[in-house]
Amino acid sequence: PDKHPGKSCSQPLFTAVISARTFQLNLWKKWSKQPPIRIGTRTSQGFYYSTECTFFQLLEGPEESVKRIYEHICNDPRHYNLVELLYDYGPSRRFGHAGMELFDLRRYDREEVLQQVLNKGTTRYQLTYNDRALQFFRTFVEATEKENYFEIPPGDTWEFIPEEDAFSRQPPVIAKGADCSFAFQPIVDPLTQQVVSWEALLRTPSGGSPAVYFESLTGNAIYESDLKSKQVALSMASALGLEGQTLSLNLLPMTLVNVPNAVDFLLKEIAANGLVPEQIIIEFTESEVISRLTEFKGAVRQLKSAGISVAIDHFGAGFAGLLLLAQFQPDRIKINRELVADVHKSGPRQAIVQAIIKCCASLEIQFCAVGVEKAEEWMWLESAGISEFQGHLFASPKLGGIPPIAWPEKKFDI
Ligand code: C2E
Ligand code: MN
Ligand code: MN
Its ipTM equals 0.96
Ion ligand 2: residues, Cβ under 5 Å: 250, 283, 313
Q: At residue 81, what is the residue type?
A: N
What DSSP line would sit under 232-297, residue for residue?
HHHHHHHHTT-TTS-EEEE--HHHHHHSTTHHHHHHHHHHHTT--GGGEEEEEEHHHHHHTHHHHH
Ligand 2 centre distance from Cα of residue 152 (Å): 28
Please report the domains of the chain, with CATH numbers, ordered by start residue.
12-151 (3.30.70.100), 156-410 (3.20.20.450)
Give pLDDT tens digits for 259-307.
Answer: 999 999 999 999 999 999 999 999 998 877 777 888 888 889 999 999 9
To test the ligand 1 pocket, which listed residue (201, 235, 312, 389) has its Cβ within 8 A of the most ligand atoms?
Answer: 201
Highest mean pLDDT of the ranges 82-91, 110-119, 316-325, 359-368 = 359-368
- Percent of all residues in the chain with a pLDDT value above 90, rounded to a whole number: 50
User: Does pTM surpass 0.90?
Assistant: no
Environment class of residue 326 by beta-carbon count within 10 Å: exposed (0-12), middle (13-18) or buried (19+)? exposed
Task: Identify the H or E element spanning 134.
Answer: helix 132-142
Q: Whose CA is nearest to atom 28 of ligand 1?
A: 210
The mean pLDDT of the chain is 83
Residues in the ligand 1 pocket, defined by CB under 6 Å: 185, 201-202, 209-210, 226, 229, 250-252, 283, 285, 313-314, 337, 370-373, 390-392, 397
Cα–Cα distance for residue pair 13/396, rounded to 1 Å: 40
Decide: 208 and 181 in contact? Cβ < 8 Å: no
Decide: 14 and 93 in contact? Cβ < 8 Å: yes
Task: Name the 3-class secondary structure at 200.
Answer: strand
Ligand nearest to the CA of 252: 1
Nearest to 172 by CA among 393, 362, 403, 406: 403
